[in-house]
Amino acid sequence: MTEKIGGRLIKFGDNVNTDVIIPGRYLVSIDPQELAKHAFEPMGTEVQKRLWSSQVVVGGKNFGCGSAREQAASCLIGCGIKAVVAKSFSRVFFRNCINTGLPAVECSEAAEAALDGGELWIDLEQGMVEVQGESFSFASYPESLKQILEAGGLIPYLAKYVLPQQEALKRHTPELSRR
């Protein structure tokens, strides 16, 4: 993960909730592309158009508050968003980002400095955000979360690392597999 991720940013305020990010009526789908069409729909088509041409979402404090819907993260992936940077996140939204492979970076200074429509770049390995010609550091992820992000989310991570081990364990301990 030495490459920087980022690009054009779209900036929102404090307490952006999940019902605004993806309204409940669209949760019948789990397809990120389909969900992307309705991301931020309550804010109107102008906001949506700018979202679709952005690579980074910047939020204020408590970004993603509200429901546990995982689609609040996956709809952003469908929009082509590479990372979310905010002053702070609601806990379920943060988990859903990591678990769907979308980097969520808590960096108050960067979120403050970011200007709507400007550019923002993140170096996950170094724990740095570059925005408006300034660099800001953020606390890097614990190793366990880093592995999930690198695998592209929780399910790919399990399929790649955890399930093969469980299978191997079962092959060597037949009494376990009979339970």
Partner 1 sequence: MGKAFAEKVLARAAGLSDVRPGEIVDVYPDLYMSHMASWRCIRTLEKMGTDKLYDPERIAMVMDHISPARIAKTADDQRLCREFAVRKGINKFYDVEAGIAHVVLMEAGHIRPGMVVIGTDSHSTIYGALGALGTGVGFSEITAAWVTGKLWMKVPESIKVIIEGPLARGTSSKDVMLKLIGDLTADGATYCSVEFHGSYVERLSISDRMTLCNLAMELGAKNAFVRPDEITRSYLGERGVPPGQYTEIHPDPDPVYVKSVTIDGRSLVPQIACPHTVDNVKPIDQVAGTKVNQVFVGSCANAKYEDLVEAARILKGRKIAPGVRLLVSPASKEIVARTVKDGTYSILLEAGALITNPGCSACAGDGGVMADGEVTLSTANRNFQGRMGSYNAEIYLGSPAVAAATAVRGVITDPREFL
Q: How far is the CB of 118 from partner 1 (least distance, A)?
A: 25
Q: Closest approach of Cβ 153 to partner 1, in Å?
A: 7
Among 33, 53, 68, 132, binds partner 1 (CB under 8 A): 68
As a three-state string, the secondary structure of the chain is CCCCEEEEEEECCCCCEHHHHCCHHHCCCCCHHHHHCCCCHHHCHHHHHHHHCCCEEEECCCECECCCCCHHHHHHHHCCCCEEEECCECHHHHHHHHHHCCCEEECHHHHHHCCCCCEEEEECCCCEEEECCEEEECCCCCHHHHHHHHHCCHHHHHHHHHHHHHHHHHHHCHHHHCC
Q: Which stretch binds partner 1 (CB under 8 A): 45-53, 118-126, 128-136, 154-162?
A: 154-162
Q: Which of residues 70-129 bind partner 1 (CB under 8 A)?
A: 70, 73, 88, 90-92, 95-96, 99-100
- List the one residue from 65, 76, 114, 124 that touches partner 1 (CB under 8 A): 65
Name the residue nearer to partner 1 (CB basis): 54 or 99: 99
Interacting residues with partner 1 (CB under 8 A): 15, 17-20, 23-25, 27-28, 30, 41-42, 61-62, 65-70, 73, 88, 90-92, 95-96, 99-100, 142, 144-145, 153-155, 158-159, 162-163, 166
